Amino acid sequence: MCIATLIEAHGEFFTTPLFWDCNCEEEYIHPATQEVCLACNTHREDGPDARVNEIFRHAYEFHLPPILVNTLAAAAEAVAPALTAGIVIPF
């Protein structure tokens, strides 16, 4: 997979297929490998790709897989360095 395909621009924000959002109010970001949210029963194919800035903001709090978050950070640095400016990923 090309690193550029890990981040998609949507005007002022960026998304990634490495993670998706369910309908929960809290802990709504899931890795793409998780097919369904056990809390709200949203399925991966029904949820949008997650916003990159929200992944970085909630990575530790939502217990997101460090390897995927770090992969995303490397892709962001290569594609849109402003996405990683000033962030500290806690693992």
Closest by CA to 15, choosing from 25, 5, 23, 24, is 5
Q: Domain for residue 90, yes or no?
A: no
Which residues lie across from 50 on neighbouring strands?
16
Q: Domain for residue 77, yes or no?
A: yes
Expressed as residue numbers, the domain containing 13 is 3-83
Q: Domain for residue 88, yes or no?
A: no
Which residues lie across from 49 on neighbouring strands?
20
Half-sphere exposure (Cβ direction) of 59: Cα atoms closer than 13 Å: 20
36-56 pLDDT tens trace = 999 999 999 999 999 999 999
Residues 6 or more apart in contact with residue 13 via CB below 8 angstroms: 51, 52, 53
8-40 pLDDT tens trace = 989 889 999 999 999 999 999 999 999 999 999
Q: Domain for residue 91, yes or no?
A: no
Q: Domain for residue 17, yes or no?
A: yes
Q: Domain for residue 41, yes or no?
A: yes
Residue 90 has pLDDT above 60, yes or no: no
Q: Domain for residue 49, yes or no?
A: yes
Sign of the alpha-carbon dihedral angle for 64, 24, 21, 37: positive
